[in-house]
Homo-oligomer: A and B are copies of this chain.
Amino acid sequence: MVGGGEGSIIGETHMLSLRADGLCELVAGALSSRPDVASLSAERQMISADRSYQSYAEMAEREAARADRIDAVVIATPPDSHLDIARQFLSRGIDVICEKPMTRDVAEAEELASLVASTGRFFFLTHCYTGYPMVRQARDMVARGIIGDIRMIEIEFCPGEPGTALEPLDPAKRHWRFKPGSMGKAAILGEVGSHSYNLACFIGGARARSVSATLATFADRREVYDNAYLTVRYENGAQGRLWSSYVASGNNMGLKVRIFGSAASLAWDQEHPEQLVHKPIGEPAVILERGYDSMSAVARSSTRFRAGFPEGYGLAFANMYTDFAKALIARELGLDNAPYLASLPTVEDGLEGMRLIAAAISSHENDGDWKQLPNR
């Protein structure tokens, strides 16, 4: 792992998720750019001292030279470093698991997509909510036509917590997330908006054709946008809205997905992730639930416990690691790994997300005018 050392929330999540199913092991790392934190973190994670590195470049070089080298690297650093880190490992034949947002901008994303294509390595982006069994169930139901033609896709991802804090008076004390340097002024779109759009594409099988956006900053002293309203027209004729906010006061995590089709709707709330509400037109709502035999194959194979024993966020994340591990094993054994890769967001998905963000910023800066996304 690169990044993700002591004090990193996302780092801990990765560690738990990779361990939970017993298929992955954390054996090497450049866990922090600060040498003392890197060493301490590695020790706490029981990484042997000779595989705790001072930099990702050193790690890539020395791991590539080992007989027992790592199978894959997890990139858990801020987004402006992703491209270079990925390059170091991909170019040495090491697969990559990468945190979102994928890169700093569209140009970097395009370069990374080329790199992945040319090296032929596995690359997956941890849009972790696609690991939830009921999100995969929703995708499968949409693909099977159960809700008919998609009309509207409504997603909001508005974590309330950061809204608790005013920005510190001292700019040095502000989180990198709220500084324009790292991901630009529309960091919120990279941070949470990219997840929402990924879910729209993942579940809806849709891709944005154009976007109209209204961005705003509500918190005092904040230098970046903290609220983003996007209206989206999709290639398949659907429309929808994506709301990303750090100032939805009182929210906990705040991710909700609803898809309305010509025959039915589906609704999913990340805070009660075991249920998926299926509401056909003119018929009562049905509460689909993880763990039932009647769920889709992909939902059943992403499941550990019986219905009613909640699996939660950590094990949804773990589903991605387990898929990835099985894809690696299948590759090694010369077996078909497509089923294991089918639910993992790709570098192309990441590029698509960066393009939406760029178009949204452009729309906002032009009085909310509709902006086209490039064709693929």
Contact = CB atoms under 8 A, between A and B. Distances in A.
B279 A262 contact: no
Interface in A267-286: 270-274, 278-286
Nearest to A287: B285
Given A309-B313, A314-B311, A260 B250 contact: yes
A176 interface: no
Contacts of A369: 367-369
B229 A250 contact: no
A365 B310 CA distance: 37
Contacts of A251: 265, 279, 308
A60 interface: no
Copies of this protein chain in the complex: 4
Contacts of A315: 16, 312, 314
Contacts of A310: 270-273, 310, 312-313
B160 A305 contact: no
Interface in A288-323: 288-289, 291-294, 304-315
Interface in A2-22: 9, 12-13, 15-16, 19-22
Interface residues of A, number: 83
Given A12-B304, A159-B308, A229-B241, A274 B274 contact: no
A315 B273 CA distance: 15
A216 interface: yes
A151 B219 CA distance: 10
Contact of A272 (B13, B272, B280): B272
A159 B306 CA distance: 10
Given A45-B22, A370-B368, A308 B152 contact: no
A249, A285, A288 — most chain B CB neighbours (10 Å)? A249
A160 B281 contact: yes
B164 A249 contact: no
A42 interface: no
A19 B20 CA distance: 6
A253 B307 contact: yes
A250 B279 contact: yes
A233 to B, nearest CB: 8
14 contacts: A19-B20, A160-B281, A212-B212, A212-B368, A218-B262, A227-B239, A250-B260, A253-B307, A272-B310, A283-B292, A284-B286, A284-B287, A311-B313, A312-B314
Given A151-B218, A231-B368, A278-B284, 5 more contacts: A13-B304, A250-B260, A271-B274, A272-B272, A369-B369
